[in-house]
Amino acid sequence: MPSTDRFIGKVAVVTGGGSGIGRAVTLRLAAEGADVHVLELSMEAGEETASLAHSRGGSVRILPADVADALSVKTAFAALPRLDILVNNAGVAHVGTAVSTLPEDFERLYGINVRGVYHCLHFGIPLMLKHAGGSIVNLASVASKVALPDRFAYGMTKGAVLAMTLSAARDFVGEGIRCNCVCPARVHTPFVDGFLAKNYSGKEAEMFARLSAAQPIGRMGTPEEIASLVAFLCSDEASFITGSAYDIDGGFTLLR
């Protein structure tokens, strides 16, 4: 993992940093000098991430929070000394069409994937405004731009993330705040392994190969690859970039 000093003196928040992409982003920012605060519902998962970061000399603090709950997020942000970097990563997925998706599933995805991003923008941006701006990166998806089968509610939420990204970028472009999003295709995380074990017991390897082949490059992405792009967008090297949605999808959208 690269180790530079480009985030020394920066305070960062990463939501859902206990596993997968969120963990990789947390470790990457910490390795490059950021003082990272992880908003995480699972304290056990969060502490695992913090332990990994500390073993590599990084600074990570876990703040227990449910991004779907406004008071929980407000309390977490109130504990911050300042805010320079915000990575809205926390999210959940769901398989289903408009017919098969139950109302409670729709509300659950909306609460975490949409309201969660809003809460962090709502309480995070004022902190950035107090200290001459900052950088926001939201985790969207290729589902923000193209229709995926059986991803009705998930696609709805990621489309909203893209729209919120553009809106926040426009509203605060004159106040030193940049806001971008990344749009990954399939990334090999523990979620994928759990999904295959639950839905394709005994056929995990076959389905993993099929899901991997959906990307023209021939494989899924890695959390570390997503973290590299996120770190770049958070850095001063990307100071001329705002309101952009970056595909990181192994060529997935080439076929759409």
Q: Which residues are catalytic?
A: 154
Residues facing 217 on adjacent strands: none
Exposed/middle/buried for residue 18 (C-beta within 10 Å: 0-12, 13-18, 19+)? buried
Torsion, CA 81, CA 63, CA 88, CA 197, rounded to 10:
160
Torsion, CA 18, CA 53, CA 88, CA 139, rounded to 10:
-90
DSSP state letters, 169-234: HHHHGGGTEEEEEEEE--B--HHHHHHHHHHSTT-HHHHHHHHHHTSTTSS-B-HHHHHHHHHHHH
Angle at 22 between CA 20 and CA 28, to 5 degrees: 105
